[in-house]
């Protein structure tokens, strides 16, 4: 279900949904939800199952209910494209939660800022909290540990007998943690870890650290 | 004009050319002029084109007498699966038209037709239209399309055997179902090479139990060509065969044949072999430089057209190619054919053999070059095949929902359709004869709602239903999107390769590029190229230093398997090795068989051989059904799965056309395998599903299905269009369907096609039944046997570079020879 880790003497909890909870700050970080992606495709005539739409909100509910954070920070790509009916579902969801919501802008976030401010959601280009830099795109700035998204990291596992699996993962580099994509229908980009990297893969309902050798 | 007068015109024209019409041509003219439909079975280069162009032209004369004003619009359509063939077909028609001085226009409409030409055709369609199945679909996507066909007297489907058993064949069936209704007087004719199921081919073409079928004939061109198969046998036969140099060590023999012949086609089985052979021939025999070319499916289209023209004009001495040249160059004289490696199928082999030596009555010679020793058994088998003419069936598709979705969207884009009308038309096709009203309604819901029921918040937009119940696509953007998608029946994950300075070379699969670093050199299309980078889904390269070491491009796709007929012949030939009755090929294999019999056996008809041995890689268990790689892949999966229930053992699998291997770090208890009847056909389907491979394969099959049915927008293959946030891989769509809509017909189709086509479930069951009738002979060996060698060395190929591979194999051979 979850895996606690330490970074720079701070406690973080990795959740199977792809979210990270920062214990001291009571902040829940979620990246690349891509709400509205299914609706966007359907609007353009691609029949992606509509049932998939509700799954994202169920996942959000589950993880928020689990950690009950004071603040939720979305590390970009909260909404996939132009506004569509899924916005109404999102608006409803926002009004039902008590946490403060912040969106760190990502490349897909093209919806006009006023829609977000109407819901009381602040939009920022980045966030800095005590030596930790929260962005959408990976940022290697000196002196900070970077939490980011955008990549939709995955890991490619090779088994014997020509078996292979691609699984989403938290990809940690010495000064950076790339969060997996939270949303359904988001795809993965497989990364190859170096020896100093740490990979936590998400398999079914577990977060599993793996040896990178 | 009566029939005799029309016939006389034809006979006169023939004699003016110095030809005499064949009986099959005259039979076709007669049947045609009687208003019949039909299927003509005639091979390439037999004059099949004139068999049908003539009656079409004669019929035009009859219907449009010189005195009156000719009717407007298309008079006849000629469908060819290959764009490059259209030129030849056009020339054949124009020859007749010019000689008879008739005012008939001939035009080609395909992916190669320019925009200017297309605009001209819009105002005035040519009398005779030569086009592809995809372009025919595009015509059905134009507004008021029935007007185009109202004076159409004939449609000819050329190379029907090529279309049959593919989704383009299904596309053709659907198009015909529509044309039959809007042009009821139109005759339907097919031309097919010899296949095992010609009668069925006629049924598929004309519709089961239809008017058209009842008023039809099957005409066979009995052109008995004498075919001689000559094997190029090396003087020294290797005892341990491996798919190594691909027979390249016999290149001197090949050069000799090429030199002595006017034109030679060298057929290879895969594109990478084609590249390797071309390179090696050029390096060793630079004398061929100006008159040599390469031709395969991934080479840029313009280059391929150039090569085809050059062959027609007899400018080339040798062309190295793949099945890409099986079709086409109908009228070109090719003197010699060399087949490198087993052709995998009898029909393919016979067709190629028939291409050589165009003088009537003269013998056709085809040379067979085995790429490793055991392939000589295939050569031996092929000789029998030539004598007995046992050819493969081309099994037609059933219930291809993806093609139906595309077709209905096409009708929706042009004039719209009424479901009740179209349902009947579609149900009368061979492909959809078992379609139920539930299936049909599912599809209608899919295209209009994007799901099976209306959902809250859903903004799906594609096909809309107007007040008359007519299904239409009214949104212009969606209509354009669909038109771009029509005809993308086959899509590979390929990237276009072009010179930085401009000029396209061809396409390469993505995975190959992903292994390259900037500066790496590779050989492609006969050129040494240096990889620069990928930009906008295009691979930019520049000419590399010809002396630099380079790797040859290879492709994953397009792997063929031994056909059922071929594998049956192969087994028979192998069993014959135990009798005294041996061909020169089998005799040459004597040292190999001797070594094989040392620790193991050469199986007899009633024996099923299993060998086990240990190497530093682990414990090997090799099984020999001789049933083709696809069946072996499936069987290996199932066996591994079943054995894993007896003990927690994990395997590495390997397979080729002759057998399969399970490799693990612990020994398999084979006795337990026999005792537990693990070769049973019971639960086969279930076990196939459970093995992981089936899902992977279904995922791959789904890629094509997603593209065809419009779930994925790809733009042009290799040159994709950037769409606003609409890019998605079919893999992702597969997963989302699997998780949220598992009973989706398109998803199920992927699994069904996997089991039927990829895993060849029917053939697999027959193989298991045969094995169950045989005595199992288990030979525990100390060392790998010659039969096992190709399989175990194939596995190494994936790990080692070609140099280290041959070194390693040399070492292995030396130690096993002791």
pLDDT at A60: 95
Output the six-digit token pair for A60. 């959000």
CA–CA separation, B606 vs B575, rounded Å?
9
Can you give the pLDDT at residue B358?
57
Q: Are B373 and B581 in contact (CB under 8 A)?
A: no
- Span B343-347, average pLDDT: 84
Check residues B513 and B801 and name the one with the higher pLDDT. Answer: B513
| Cβ-based contacts of A160 with chain B (< 8 Å) | 650-652
pLDDT tens sequence for chain A (213 residues): 899 999 999 999 999 999 999 999 999 999 999 999 999 899 888 999 988 888 999 999 999 999 999 999 999 899 988 888 889 999 999 999 999 999 999 888 888 888 898 899 999 999 999 999 999 999 999 999 999 999 999 988 876 545 567 889 999 999 999 999 999 999 888 888 888 899 999 988 889 888 765
Instruction: Give the pLDDT mean for B21-37.
Output: 92
Q: Considering only residues A158 and B443, tell me which one the structure prediction assigns the higher pLDDT.
A: B443
SS3 of residue A5 by DSSP: strand
Mutate to test the interface with A, among B706, B740, B745 (most CBs of A within 10 A): B740
Amino acid B491: pLDDT: 47
Per-residue pLDDT at B546 exceeds 60: yes
Q: Establish, for the pair of chains A and B, how many residue pairs have beta carbons separated by less than 8 Å.
A: 101
Dihedral over Cα of B741, B746, B750, B752: its sign? positive
B740 with A88: Cβ contact below 8 A: no
Q: What is the pTM of this model?
A: 0.84
d(CA B644, CA B638): 10
Asked if B725 lies within 8 A of A108 by C-beta distance, the reply is: yes
The nearest CA of chain A is from the CA of B733 a distance in Å of 7
Q: Which residue has the tokens 């008879």?
A: B100
Residues whose CB is less than 8 angstroms from the CB of residue B250 and which lie 6 or more positions away in sequence, other chains included:
B232, B234, B369
Query: Residue A55 and residue B740: Cβ atoms within 8 Å?
Result: yes
Q: How confident is the model at residue B388 (pLDDT cuts 50, 70, 90)?
A: confident
**Band of residue B411 on the pLDDT scale cut at 50, 70, 90:** very high
Given this model, what pLDDT does residue A103 score?
A: 94
User: What CA–CA distance (Å, rounded) separates B42 from B48?
Assistant: 6
**Measured between CB atoms, does A3 come within 8 Å of chain B?**
no
DSSP string, B534-551: EETTEEEEEEPPTTS--E
CB A75 within 8 A of CB A106: yes
- The number of residues in chain A equals 213
Q: What average pLDDT score do residues B589-599 get? A: 89
* Per-residue pLDDT at A213: 57
pLDDT band at B584 (very low <50, low <70, confident <90, very high): confident
Interface with chain B: mutation pick from A44, A82, A184, highest number of B CBs within 10 Å: A44
pLDDT at position B167 over 80? yes
Does any CB of chain B come closer than 8 Å to the CB of residue A205?
no
Output the pLDDT for position B328.
61
Pair of tokens at residue B804 = 């280290």
Q: Show the tokens assigned to A77.
A: 């790509």
Q: What is the mean pLDDT of residues B254-273?
A: 89
**Cβ–Cβ of B726/A41 closer than 8 Å?**
yes
Shortest CA gap B704–chain A (Å): 15
Tell me if A39 and B455 make a contact (CB, 8 A cut-off): no
Query: DSSP string spanning B597-621?
Result: HHHS----TTEEEEEEEEETTEEEE
| Contact state of A47 with B450 under an 8 Å Cβ cutoff | yes
pLDDT-derived band of residue B519, with 50, 70 and 90 as boundaries? confident
* B268-310 pLDDT tens trace: 988 888 998 998 899 899 999 889 999 998 888 888 888 888 8
Distance between CA atoms of residues B607 and B792, nearest Å: 22
Across the interface, whether the CB atoms of A45 and B739 are under 8 A apart is answered no
Coil, strand or helix: which one is B343? coil
Q: Which of A40, A42, A88 sits opposite B725 (nearest CB)?
A: A40
Q: Rounded to 10 degrees, what is the CA torsion of B696, B701, B704, B710?
A: -80
The predicted model gives B106-119 an average pLDDT of 78
State how far the alpha carbon of A67 is from the alpha carbons of A27, A146, B83, in Å: 9, 22, 62
From chain B, pick out residues whose CB is under 8 angstroms from the CB of A43: 459-461
Closest CA to A82 of A123, A41, A31: A41
**Residues from chain B contacting residue A181 (CB–CB below 8 Å):** none
CB A30 within 8 A of CB A63: yes
Q: Among B655, B605, B607, B651, which residue's Cα sits nearest to residue B631?
A: B655
Of A46, A89, A184, the CB nearest to B457: A89
For residue B28, what are the contacts with CB-CB under 8 A and spacing of at least 6? B38, B40, B51, B52, B55, B189, B219
Contact between chains at B729 and A187 (C-beta distance less than 8 A): yes
Vertex A39: Cα angle to A38 and A40 (nearest 5): 90
Backbone angles phi, psi at A175, to 5 degrees: -120, 20
* Interatomic CA distance for residues B555 and B346, integer angstroms: 24
Helix, strand, coil percentages, rounded to 5, for chain B: 45, 15, 40
Q: What is the pLDDT of residue B723?
A: 60
pLDDT confidence of B818, banded at 50, 70, 90? low
Which among A89, A161, A185 has the least Cβ separation from residue B732? A185
pLDDT of B588 > 50? The answer is: yes
E-strand ranges in B308-459 read 318-321, 336-340, 364-369
Mind listing the pLDDT tens digit for each residue in B43-56?
A: 776 788 889 999 99
Report the mean per-residue pLDDT for chain B.
85
């Amino acid at each position: 279900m979850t895996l606690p880790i330490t970074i720079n003497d701070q406690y973080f909890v990795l959740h199977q949904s792809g979210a990270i909870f920062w214990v001291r700050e009571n902040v829940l970080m979620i990246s690349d939800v891509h709400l509205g992606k299914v609706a966007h495709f359907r609007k353009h005539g691609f029949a992606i199952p509509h049932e998939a739409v509700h799954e994202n909100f169920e996942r959000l509910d589950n993880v928020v209910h689990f950690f009950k954070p004071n603040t939720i920070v979305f590390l970009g790509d909260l909404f996939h494209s132009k506004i569509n009916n899924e916005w109404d579902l999102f608006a409803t969801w926002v009004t039902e939660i008590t946490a403060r919501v912040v969106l760190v802008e990502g490349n897909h976030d093209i919806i006009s800022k006023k829609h977000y401010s109407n819901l009381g959601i602040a939009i920022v280009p980045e966030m800095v909290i005590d030596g930790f830099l929260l962005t959408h795109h990976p940022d290697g700035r000196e002196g900070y540990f970077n939490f980011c998204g955008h990549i939709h990291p995955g890991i490619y596992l090779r088994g014997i007998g020509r078996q292979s699996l691609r699984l989403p993962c938290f990809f940690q580099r010495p000064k950076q943690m790339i969060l997996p994509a939270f949303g359904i229908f988001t795809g993965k980009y497989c990364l190859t870890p170096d020896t100093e990297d740490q990979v936590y893969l998400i398999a079914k309902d577990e977060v599993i650290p793996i040896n990178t050798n | 004009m009566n029939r005799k007068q029309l016939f006389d015109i034809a006979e006169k024209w023939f004699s003016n050319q110095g030809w005499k019409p064949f009986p099959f041509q005259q039979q076709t003219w007669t049947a045609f002029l009687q208003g019949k439909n039909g299927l003509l079975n005639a091979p390439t280069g037999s004059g099949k084109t004139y068999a049908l162009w003539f009656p079409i032209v004669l019929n035009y004369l009859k219907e449009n007498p010189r005195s009156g004003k000719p009717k407007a619009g298309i008079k006849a359509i000629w469908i060819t699966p290959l764009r490059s063939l259209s030129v030849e077909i056009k020339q054949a028609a124009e020859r007749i038209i010019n000689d008879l001085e008739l005012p008939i226009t001939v035009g080609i409409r395909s992916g190669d037709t320019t925009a200017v030409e297309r605009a001209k055709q819009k105002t005035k369609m040519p009398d005779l239209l030569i086009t592809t199945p995809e372009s025919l679909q595009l015509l059905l996507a134009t507004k008021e399309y029935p007007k185009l066909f109202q004076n159409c007297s004939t449609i000819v489907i050329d190379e029907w055997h090529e279309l049959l058993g593919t989704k383009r064949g299904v596309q053709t069936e659907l198009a015909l179902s529509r044309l039959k209704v809007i042009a009821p007087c139109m005759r339907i004719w097919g031309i097919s090479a010899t296949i095992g199921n010609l009668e069925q081919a006629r049924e598929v073409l004309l519709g089961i139990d239809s008017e058209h079928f009842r008023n039809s004939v099957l005409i066979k061109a009995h052109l008995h060509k004498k075919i001689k198969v000559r094997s190029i046998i090396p003087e020294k036969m290797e005892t341990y065969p491996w798919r190594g140099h691909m027979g390249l060590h016999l290149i001197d023999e090949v050069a000799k044949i090429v030199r002595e012949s006017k034109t030679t086609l060298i057929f290879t089985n895969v594109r990478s072999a084609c590249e390797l052979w071309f390179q090696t021939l050029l390096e060793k025999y630079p004398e061929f430089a100006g008159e040599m070319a390469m031709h395969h499916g991934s080479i840029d289209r313009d280059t391929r057209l150039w090569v085809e023209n050059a062959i027609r004009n007899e400018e080339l001495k040798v062309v190295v190619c793949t099945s890409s040249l099986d079709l086409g160059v109908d009228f070109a004289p090719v003197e010699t054919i060399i087949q490198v490696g087993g052709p995998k199928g009898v029909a393919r082999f016979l067709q190629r053999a028939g291409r050589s030596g165009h003088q009537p009555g003269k013998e056709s010679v085809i040379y067979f070059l085995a790429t490793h020793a055991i392939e000589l058994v295939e050569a031996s088998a092929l000789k029998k095949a030539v004598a007995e003419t046992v050819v493969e069936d081309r099994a037609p598709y059933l219930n291809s929902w993806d093609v139906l979705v595309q077709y209905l969207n096409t009708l929706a884009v042009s004039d719209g359709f009424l479901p009740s009308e179209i349902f009947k038309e579609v149900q009368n096709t061979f492909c959809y004869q078992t379609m139920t009203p539930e299936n049909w309604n599912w599809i209608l819901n899919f295209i209009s709602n994007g799901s099976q029921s209306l959902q809250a918040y859903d903004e799906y937009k594609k096909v809309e239903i107007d007040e008359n119940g007519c299904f239409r696509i009214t949104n212009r953007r969606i209509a354009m999107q669909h038109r771009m998608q029509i005809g993308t029946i086959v899509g590979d994950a390929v990237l276009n390769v072009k010179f930085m300075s401009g000029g396209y070379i061809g396409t390469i699969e993505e995975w190959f590029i992903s292994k390259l670093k900037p500066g790496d050199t590779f050989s492609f299309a006969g050129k040494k190229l240096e990889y620069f980078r990928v930009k906008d889904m295009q691979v930019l390269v520049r000419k590399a230093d010809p002396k630099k070491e380079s790797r040859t491009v290879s492709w994953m796709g397009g792997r063929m398997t031994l056909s059922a007929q071929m594998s049956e012949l192969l087994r028979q030939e192998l069993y014959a090795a135990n009798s005294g009755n041996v061909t020169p090929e089998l005799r040459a294999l004597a040292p190999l068989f001797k070594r094989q019999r040392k620790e193991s056996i050469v199986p007899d008809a009633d024996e099923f051989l299993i060998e086990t041995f240990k190497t530093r890689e682990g414990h090997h268990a090799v099984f020999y059904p001789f049933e083709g790689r696809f069946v072996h892949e499936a069987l290996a999966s199932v066996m591994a799965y079943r054995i894993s229930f007896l003990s927690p053992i994990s395997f590495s699998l390997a397979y080729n056309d002759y057998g399969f291997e399970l490799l693990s770090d612990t020994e398999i208890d084979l006795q337990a395998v026999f005792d537990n009847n693990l070769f049973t056909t019971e639960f086969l389907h279930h076990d196939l599903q459970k093995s992981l491979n089936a899902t992977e394969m279904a995922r791959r099959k789904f890629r094509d299905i997603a593209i065809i049915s419009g779930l994925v927008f790809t733009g042009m293959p290799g040159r994709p269009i950037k769409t606003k946030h609409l890019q998605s891989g079919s893999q992702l769509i597969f997963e989302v369907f699997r998780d949220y809509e598992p009973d989706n017909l398109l998803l199920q189709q992927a699994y069904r096609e996997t089991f039927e086509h990829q895993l060849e479930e029917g053939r697999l069951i027959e193989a298991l039944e045969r094995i169950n009738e045989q005595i199992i002979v288990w030979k525990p060996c100390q060392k790998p046997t010659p039969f096992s060698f190709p399989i175990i060395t194939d596995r190494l190929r994936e790990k080692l570079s070609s140099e280290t591979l041959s070194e390693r194999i040399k070492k292995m051979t030396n130690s096993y020879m002791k």
